[in-house]
Structure 1
Amino acid sequence: MSGLSPDVIAAAYRACCLAELDALKPGNVHVFGDGHRMAVADFVTSAEVSAPHLAEPGARIGRRVRTAMEATLGAVGQNTNLGILLLCAPLALAAERGGPLRRALSHVLDTLDAADAADVFAAIRAANPGGLGRAERHDVTGPEAPASLVAAMAEAAPRDRIARAYVTGFADIFGIGLPALAEARGKGLTPPWSTTAVFLGYLAAVPDSHVARKHGAARADALRAEAAELLSLDLANHPVTELLVRDRSWKGRNLNPGTSADMTVATLFADRLLAAET
């Protein structure tokens, strides 16, 4: 089966980045409210400038991440999408190569090499995401990248859900995000509210690792419990007021569930790529 064209992949990526912004995601940036010194416009620009790099034909994962991150930093001057790029680059390459997406993704992850590691580590250092801390092995602040990106991701996996995706074949995307999206659609939710359902599904299922890095595991688990309470809301009734109350509360405490938001974009992207297969 032939793969998708770069134009189709780039268009799908841009559309998913914008769709995620349209959804009310408490604690994160969305059309109902900016936050954490970032604005919706920053994310719109980031999606536009990073898309050609994310979909560069023939490029390996590491190059896609690094060049897209460089373009983002050049355009908006801050890290708005490192997690999104780390998740979407393997999906983009898998879609380009063709065949069933999950099988192609597994092959892509199995063939990561030292050049991928060097480029990904360069992108992470340039983005300088908050709360990374230091690691005994494969420290991103060290002078050299590891020979194996998979080994570095495995080291970080217990504390970072995006790293964990690289060593589990994106299990969270296929096991949490896509089922939540299918369930939301089955309830007749409109696209923005289906996206909110995906975001809350991630946040309620596992502690957000971005929150955990910055505020500790206990605070992340408490936020997970708060998110689980929100699952009782009927999103079909568009509970904007209730969600904005939580949005202001979390932003007031500088709690940004960024990993859950990144996973949400990747879920929408995987869904579009799967739909394009058929």
Structure 2
Amino acid sequence: MAENIPAPTVPSKHAVVTGASSGIGAATVRKLRADGWHVVAVARRADRLEQLAKETGALAFAADVTSDDDVADLAAFVAERGGLDTLVNIAGGARGADPMATAVNDDWEWMFQVNVLGTMKMVRAFLPALRAHGHGTILNLTSSAALAPYEGGGGYNAAKFGQHALTGALRLEEAEHNIRVIEVVPGLVRTDEFALNRLGGDPDAAAKVYDGVAEPLVAEDVADVVGYAVSLPHHINLDQIVVRPVAQAANHKLIRKL
């Protein structure tokens, strides 16, 4: 008589979240863990990751998404722990607000590395596992900077336009593998680091970005949207979700009550 061996189970609600040391990435880890997900939290800053892991029960993995070696090590780490069904690419950011006439090479190169190439490297590394799973999800966090250019935003616009474009191409390429590809497109979000990092660490300049805006989005708002999108039944694909505060009717129209 044949031995009754149970079929292997396919992991579900197993996510990798990048950019997890602060802001939207950290809030997304908290949201998914609260909703019962298994999460591998990824970022460069190991100390912050360890603190988040203690708080939430997520697994921490320190890695730079622009490093081929780090990404390969991360993929092996995840595979050893049962794999994943969902990849959430939050890592990204902006540096500088200079017009094209005074564009800084290092700022532009960094933005392309982390927003575009970092996303590509993460997707490339995890596509085999997501295809094998049969019901994989990839969510890329872009920005409303990907939808409309603005003065002083050339480098960030270009990087986020690039990330937006690769997300669209990925959706077309991977539909036949039953991988849904979601793009979340935030507008103005007040976090501890985004504007500060963009504006060279100047706290006064960073604070002015949000001056007079009664209720800008916060990281937890965007994390709620991410959590909702990846938790829907798999046959539902939210191709693109633009999320802004009510005060931001468009990139160029922000209501400030000074």
| TM-score of the aligned structures, taking structure 1 as reference length | 0.35
Name the one with the larger strand percent: 2
Higher relative contact order (CA 8 A, sep 6+): 1
Which has more radius of gyration?
A: 2
Name the one with the larger helix percent: 1
